[in-house]
Amino acid sequence: MKFLFKILLITFLASNMTLSEEVKVFDFTEEEVSTLQVRKVRGADNKTIYTVGSNQNGNFLKAVAENAASGLGKEIKIDLDKTPFINITWKIEKDLSGIKENTKKGHDYAARVFVIKKTGATPLSNRAINYVFSSNNDVGSNWPSPYTKKSIDNVLASTKKNLNEWVTVKANVKEDFKKFHNLDVNELDGLAIMSDTDNSKMKAVAYYQNIYFSAQ
């Protein structure tokens, strides 16, 4: 009986530890959005419009990009040894079908989340993985950014299968940095959200919700 109790106790503690090992990145409140770093892409005609809302699953961020490109960045330390998995819930209402996303003229995404590791003294030396909701490519596709090989585009969702539907995706960031950059990264330095259409001059509408890191 005592042995069974110990087993149950260990199982309970292990499950609670797993649940507690989650790091939420964004709250998506008006107050939080006002404090995030807004960065307009050089050469873009307009800024992406970001607004907050809520549904039965909590707060979300709505992005409307019409010939626009700007991102929302947050400096945050993420221990990838404890919580290597990024989890993203997002939806594309209006996509960018027909563009070639791996070219400079078509390098736009209705939704993307950057994970960033500082590897030098300037932002240009940073390494990044750009997790994207593609309008034209299949899940699992990846390629270097046409602007810099220090950023890799990795497709986690596609409107070819999920247009105007909430989708939840997961990726092992620690493994991806090793795979794409050959870097052993123990800690991230920041994240950024961006919906952009400055190259294609089109319009995209996207929603972001529940972005967090987890142990599993």
The predicted-structure confidence for 80-134, as pLDDT tens digits, reads as follows: 999 999 999 999 999 999 999 999 999 999 999 999 999 877 767 799 999 999 9
SS3 content of the chain, % helix, strand, coil (to 5): 15, 45, 35
Q: What is the pTM of this model?
A: 0.88
The predicted-structure confidence for 5-27, as pLDDT tens digits, reads as follows: 344 334 433 444 444 589 999 99
Please tell me the predicted confidence (pLDDT) of residue 165: 97
What number of residues does the chain have? 216
In the chain, domain spans: 23-214
> Do 196 and 63 meet the contact criterion of CB atoms below 8 Å apart?
no
CA–CA separation, 53 and 30 (whole Å) = 9
Quick one: what percent of the chain has pLDDT higher than 70?
89
In sequence order, which residues have a C-beta less than 8 Å from that of residue 109 and are 6 or more positions away? 96, 101, 130, 132, 133, 134, 135, 153, 194, 195, 196, 204
> How would residue 3 be classed by pLDDT, with cut points 50, 70 and 90?
very low
Q: What is the mean pLDDT of the chain?
A: 91
> Do 159 and 116 meet the contact criterion of CB atoms below 8 Å apart?
no
pLDDT tops 70 at residue 152: yes
CA–CA separation, 77 and 186 (whole Å) = 10
CA–CA separation, 88 and 107 (whole Å) = 21
Q: Which CATH class is domain 23-214?
A: mainly beta
In sequence order, which residues have a C-beta less than 8 Å from that of residue 100 and are 6 or more positions away? 106, 136
CA–CA separation, 213 and 21 (whole Å) = 8
